[in-house]
């Protein structure tokens, strides 16, 4: 059983390495076209290998940050901590994190409104209008 898990893990790692190598090759090709330079196959392979190893290090660091905080889940705060040495990257991650937070809040609000409308319930604004209407009709 453990041997099968090890093989499966190895296959997944090889697929991931291949994907990183492919992406590094595409990026190198784009840079080569923009800058009028060429990248040798060994250079592309070196960039891909360094990228893969750096991502492994990032993953380990993120896991340790979460573990240090006594959590089992990596959060955006962990990612910000990882990116703290690059001001532009930290700024970008912070901006995207805030955008996601707002987007999630808007989706929750829409869900709330849909579920209350589906149940025949009224939003707080509709309830206030209904109370005002009933008060007006009682005074007449």
Which distant-in-sequence residues (6+ apart) come within 8 Å of 39 by Cβ? 28, 29, 31, 32, 47
Domains parsed from the chain with CATH numbers: 2-135 (1.10.20.10)
Say yes or no to pLDDT of 64 above 60: yes
pLDDT (0 to 100) of residue 25: 97
pLDDT (0 to 100) of residue 105: 93
What percent of the chain has a predicted confidence (pLDDT) above 70?
Answer: 84
pLDDT (0 to 100) of residue 118: 76
The alpha-carbon radius of gyration of the chain (Å, integer) is 26
48 touches 24 (CB < 8 A) = yes
Average pLDDT over residues 52-58: 96
pLDDT (0 to 100) of residue 134: 45
The Cα 65–Cα 78 span in angstroms is: 6
- For 130, other C-beta atoms within 10 Å of its C-beta total 11
pLDDT (0 to 100) of residue 121: 54
Say yes or no to pLDDT of 35 above 60: yes
The Cα 122–Cα 130 span in angstroms is: 9
């Amino acid at each position: 059983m453990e041997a099968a898990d090890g093989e499966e893990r190895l296959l997944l790692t090889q697929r991931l390495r291949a994907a990183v190598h492919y992406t590094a090759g595409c990026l190198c090709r784009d840079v080569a076209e923009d800058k009028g330079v060429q990248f040798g196959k060994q250079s592309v392979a070196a960039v891909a290998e360094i990228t893969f190893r750096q991502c492994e290090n990032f993953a380990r660091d993120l896991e340790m940050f979460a573990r240090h905080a006594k959590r089992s889940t990596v959060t955006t705060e962990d990612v910000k901590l990882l990116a703290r040495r690059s001001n532009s990257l930290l700024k970008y991650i912070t901006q995207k994190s805030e955008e996601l937070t707002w987007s999630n809040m808007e989706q929750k609000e829409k869900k709330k409104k849909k579920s209350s409308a589906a149940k025949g319930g009224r939003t707080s604004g509709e309830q206030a209008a209904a109370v005002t209407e009933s008060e007006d009709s009682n005074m007449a």
